[in-house]
Structures are given as structure tokens and as C-alpha cells.
Amino acid sequence: MKSRLNLLFLILGQLHVTRALNNGIGLKPHLGWSSWNVAQCEAASEKYALDAAAKFISLGLRDLGYEYINIDDCWSTKSRDSSGKLVPDPSKWPNGIKAVVDKIHGMGLKFGLYGCAGQWTCAGYPASEGREVSDVAQLVSWGVDFWKYDNCYTPCNQNPRPQTCTSPAGNTKTWYAPMRDAILGVQNMRKIHFNLCNWGRDEVWTWAAQYGHSWRMSVDNWGDWASVERIGSAAAAISQYSGPGGFNDLDMLYLGSPKLNTNQERLHFGLWAIAKSPLVLGLNLATISNATLDIIRNKGIISINQDALGKAATTFRPPGAPAPVSGKIYPYWVGPLTDGVVIGLCAGTAGGRYSVEFKDVPGLGGAGPYAWKEMYTGQAGRGSRVAFDIALHDMRVIKVTNV
């Protein structure tokens, strides 16, 4: 009886992660760059896209796996053409979109665009409500690989349209479904990564795997420590919803923000990586500092993020450790990897000495000894515990494997 029950749970568990857009992409969190944090509307142009693509190559980012060049809001004109089509703003796209996509594909990279489920995008450009099929046909004709889909000007009351309330009424699922179906309809022509951006409404992580490949689980990262705390701490409770084909998206990385110091940048990048968030650089690659470059080019951390198992880390409480505090980043994180586990130690609220006995780590089958390597300092060793002095807001990312 017990084993039958186990089988039932196993089947239910499998059903739970049925991926509607199960088209062989998004099996790992996507890596890339997005225009939005760089210069908002101004950056939605051919120049920014091609400059970022060139930097992906010259800075070695493409070789590390960074792949998507994503253009966010404001790339079109303010109105559709007479046949109802979206029009790339000619002042931003003097050669149209397809020519740029072709170049980016020629560089071995992928290209993403932004749209919205309501009548207008958040910045007031035409959006896709009721036009999902024809807008997706346009994406296919340009060769677009990625579609971020926002939540502005969606239904919040009966009339008038367009809607102007900030808080949509009803379940946001309702307006993500038609776009999901439109993307499903073109699967044979183009595999498009569908990224839902409903700002974490309606517990999106509980249903979004049936809709897209990744989903924003929070309102925006504003580039300050408070955002890193708010988003990073919220990721712990929803780790189980991420997996190959569908990942919690903790929002674009805001490394390079003047509001974050290098310690905070390390924690931001490390925590997003072990939480299996997409790693989408929201920064200007032309002016990036060496300290930030070192962080985003950390091979060990990227490979932990890209581990084929696709399981997100969550918090654990070793004996004697304080209870988690809501909204604060807990010190102790762990996640399974194909060949071991990753332990994250976060000095989210206080600098000091942080140590962990391997016998207390979920997923490790005892005290060891194990082999370990810390990815920011390069320190490595073997034994039954790790201990680090960590400065306020800094992080250590430790991969633990069998000896």
C-alpha cells in the first residue's frame, strides 16, 4: 500500500511540473543581458543591442555561456501601422529588427524582445492584448528567440479601456494564456523562450511552469541593497518550483549599480546563481569595473547556476543557528547539484565567522570527509566542515563533492 502511495505521489509530482512549452529550451536558467537597467527606453535600440553583443565576445562572456541580448520596453513606435502590425521605431532601428537579429545570430548569440499582456506596455507603447497571434507571427518573421511579457494596462475594471489602474483585477493567468498559446502555435517554426513578468502576482510560481520557461517572482530589482534583500530572501520559500524548463526569475542583475558595493554585488550574483535564477546582466558593459567583471565571469558560480539538475538552493537551519527573519537574507543555503551540493553562506545582516558542519547539511549523507571549493576566493580543502570570515553583505559559495 505504502509503495502504491509513493508511486501516486511520484506521478502527482511529475504532473505538477508538466511544462506546457516543453520544447527543449529553457532547460537551464538563461544567461544574458537586458537593456532596461542600462538606460531604460533609450537603450531599446540597435546600437545598444549590437554594442552589448560585441562586448559579449570581447569580454569573453559568450564563451562563459551568456547568450541572450534582450531589448526591453520602448523599441516600437507609439502606434501600430495600418495593418495592425508593431513598427520598430526607425530612429532606434534604422535597419529594422531582422537585420540586427541576423547579425546577433551570426555572432552565435540570441535575441530577445519585450511585450506586454495589456493594451499598452508599462512605458506606454502598443501591447498585445487581443493581438497575440499576429504579434507572435511578427516575432517569428524577425527570428526573435525570447519574449518577455509584462503586466501593465491589463484588465482592472470594466471600462474604460485602456486600463490605468496600477493593480490588475482578476487572476493574471487569464491574460498570459493567449500569448502562451500563440507561442505554442509557432513551435514548429521557432522556439521562443517565454518569460512571464507579472511581478510575482497570484503566486505565479505555482502555475507558471504550464505557461512559460521563466517567471518574475517579484516586483522590480531597483538596484539597491533593499531590493537584493527583498527578492533574495523571498526566493528561499519557492525554490521547489524551479526546474529544467521553468525557473523562478529573480529579475535582472543590478551589478554595477552605484547603490551596491562589491560585497553586495558578490552576494547578489551568488545568491541569484544558486537560486537558479536567470542571470541577466542589467548593466552597461562599456563602463563595467574590473571588480564587477570578476564577479560576473566567475566560472565556478556560473557552472553551479547551469548545473543540469536545475534544482534551486534554499535555506537550512544548522543546530544553534538563529531562526530566519522575514525579509532578511538568511546565512545558510544549500542546493543539490549533479555531482554534490552547493552551500551558500551569506553575511546578510552581520559580518563575522560563519561555519557549517557537513553532518548538518541536508543532501550530504553524513560528516564526510568531503572535498570542497569556495568559488570567490578559490580556497579549497577536504574535511568535515567549512568556516569563513565574511564581511557584512558578502557571500561565500562552496561546492562540496565526494572525495
Which residues are tagged catalytic? 150, 220
56 or 199, CB closer to ligand GAL? Answer: 199
Does the protein bind ligand GAL through residue 375 (CB under 6 A)? no
| Residue matched to cell numbers 484588465 | 155
199 or 247, CB closer to ligand GAL? Answer: 199
Among 48, 61, 66, 72, which residue sits at the site for ligand GAL (rule: CB under 6 A)? 72
Q: Which long-range contacts (CB under 8 A, 24 or more apart) does 234-240 make?
A: 234/200, 235/271, 235/275, 235/277, 235/312, 235/314, 236/314, 236/315, 236/324, 236/330, 236/333, 237/314, 238/205, 239/275, 239/276, 239/311, 239/312, 239/313, 239/314, 239/335, 240/312, 240/314
154 or 314, CB closer to ligand GAL? Answer: 154
Closest residue by Cα to residue 109 from 68, 72, 144? 68
Residues 31-50, one symbol each (x = binds ligand GAL by CB under 6 A, - = not), give: -----x--------------
Does the protein bind ligand GAL through residue 54 (CB under 6 A)? no
127 or 395, CB closer to ligand GAL? Answer: 127
67 or 251, CB closer to ligand GAL? Answer: 251
Closest residue by Cα to residue 282 from 307, 303, 257, 264? 257
> Minimum CB separation from ligand GAL for residue 389, in Å?
36
Q: Between residue 172 and residue 211, which ones bind ligand GAL under the rule CB under 6 A?
A: 197, 199
> What's the grid cell of residue 165?
489602474
Among 123, 234, 237, 367, which residue sits at the site for ligand GAL (rule: CB under 6 A)? 123
Does the protein bind ligand GAL through residue 102 (CB under 6 A)? no
Cα separation of 263 and 220, whole Å? 21
Residues 297-336, one symbol each (x = binds ligand GAL by CB under 6 A, - = not), give: ----------------------------------------
When computed from its CA atoms, the radius of gyration of the chain, rounded to whole angstroms, is 21
| Residue matched to cell numbers 543590478 | 254
Give the HSE-up count for residue 253: Cα atoms under 13 Å, Cβ half-sphere: 31
Rule CB under 6 A: which residues touch ligand GAL? 36, 72-73, 114, 122-123, 150, 152, 197, 199, 220
